[in-house]
Structure 1
Amino acid sequence: MGFHTFDADRAAKLEKSADRYRYLSREELLAAIDPDAGDVLADLGSGTGFFTDDVAPFVDTIHAVDVQSEMHEFYRQKGVPDNVELLTSDVAGLPFEADALSGAFSTMTYHEFAGPEAIETVARVIEPGGRLVIIDWAADGDGEAGPPLEERYSATEAVDALRADDFEISRVDERPETFLLIATQ
């Protein structure tokens, strides 16, 4: 399960707002993150920056983290906001100091990095009281979009993984194809 990455050659597909907002609207993402003007966030698995761009106007800094440099190149060509810093890294290898981030979010990418080492790293870099928002494809979805079902996690599996690193879960919404989870450090 997991550790699937999106084919960078198909990056333009990630910019289709009708497809992306069908499963997560800008408003729902912003409500879940509840950004503050002074926040320093990380978008874990930022891809082309589609959702990074939605959050950027509301925070001080966003680190757009993606393991594929090709995704960052696509983002550069599209245009990166001034307060977005591109970081090519896997989530388990985030180079931030302890408590460096106000929070983090992952939009449809948890299945790409889920694992104890990545969750432990996220727990280390988010400050106490900081929020982690995960929206991802559900293992019990029907598979009409997103990665194959065998590469997905259930909301329960994600909750259990986060609780193992002392995250407190404040919200879990299970939908037909996705789940939304809000946790605090």
Structure 2
Amino acid sequence: MGFHTFPIDRADALEDPSRYRYCSREELVAALALDGSETVADLGSGTGFYTDDVAPFAARVYAVDVQAEMHELYREKGMPENVEPVTAPIDDLPLDDDALDAAFSTMTYHEFAGEGALDELARVLGPGGRLVTVDWTASGEGESGPSRDERYDREAAVSHHEEAGFTMERAEERPETMLLVATRD
């Protein structure tokens, strides 16, 4: 497992509303528990599908993606004024310490999880900062998403988060996905 990217030639699939069956806008926004004053990062934002859902509930959102081409597609689609694209890997974010109040990852944890990514998130999230992770689970059926050998199961993902200094508030596993809600110690 480890770092890989979503194919640019399939980027239109990132705008498919059927993605909501794995994580709805309402579920994501509720898990983030925003009051509108926060600075938030979408980790692996792609074309901004979920970034657009969170932007109305935050003061500022960083759309973080390692592929500049995804930001270009997002700009063409129309990027909200409070969204700023950031082209960087998750393990080397060009953000100050404690710069974020919250961060979220939707179906991208398996792409960036590994040495340094969660430690970097602990650095840029302020004390009590919230990290919401929704991703494919290794114990899922494998009908959608990456192959099962590219996924983490809930127990491994929880362990990764805790080792990086996060406290788990919620860790649910579903038929294909998992939802983790953690806060930085």
CA RMSD in angstroms, aligned pairs only: 0.7
Query: How many Å apart are 1:166 and its aligned residue?
Result: 1.3
How big is each residue's C-alpha offset from its partner over 1:75-128, in whole Å with a ceiling of 9 and x where there is no partner?
Answer: 011000000000110000101111010010000000010013011000000000
Stretches of structure 1 lacking an aligned partner (at least 5 in a row): none
The structure 1 segments of at least 4 consecutive aligned residues displaced by more than 4 Å after TM superposition are none
- The yes-or-no answer on 1:175 pairing with 2:174 is yes
Give the TM-score taking structure 2 as reference length: 0.98
Q: Which residue of structure 2 lines up, in the alignment, with residue 165 of structure 1?
A: 164
Stretches of structure 2 lacking an aligned partner (at least 5 in a row): none
Q: Which residue of structure 2 lines up, in the alignment, with residue 129 of structure 1?
A: 128
Tell me if structure 2 keeps the 8 A contact 1:43–1:105: yes
Hey, what's the Cα distance between the residues in 1 that align with 2:2 and 2:139?
A: 14
Hey, what's the Cα distance between the residues in 2 that align with 1:47 and 1:92?
A: 17
How big is each residue's C-alpha offset from its partner over 1:16-47, in whole Å with a ceiling of 9 and x where there is no partner?
Answer: 11x21111111111111111211000000000
Query: How many Å apart are 1:2 and its aligned residue?
Result: 2.8
Q: Which residue of structure 2 lines up, in the alignment, with residue 51 of structure 1?
A: 50
Number of aligned positions between the proteins:
184
Q: Which residue of structure 2 lines up, in the alignment, with residue 95 of structure 1?
A: 94
Tell me if structure 2 keeps the 8 A contact 1:68–1:88: yes
> What SS does the corresponding residue of 2:142 show, helix, strand or coil?
coil
Hey, what's the Cα distance between the residues in 2 that align with 1:24 and 1:54?
A: 11
Hey, what's the Cα distance between the residues in 2 that align with 1:6 and 1:147?
A: 10
Deviates more, 1:112-121 or 1:79-88: 112-121
Identity %: 59
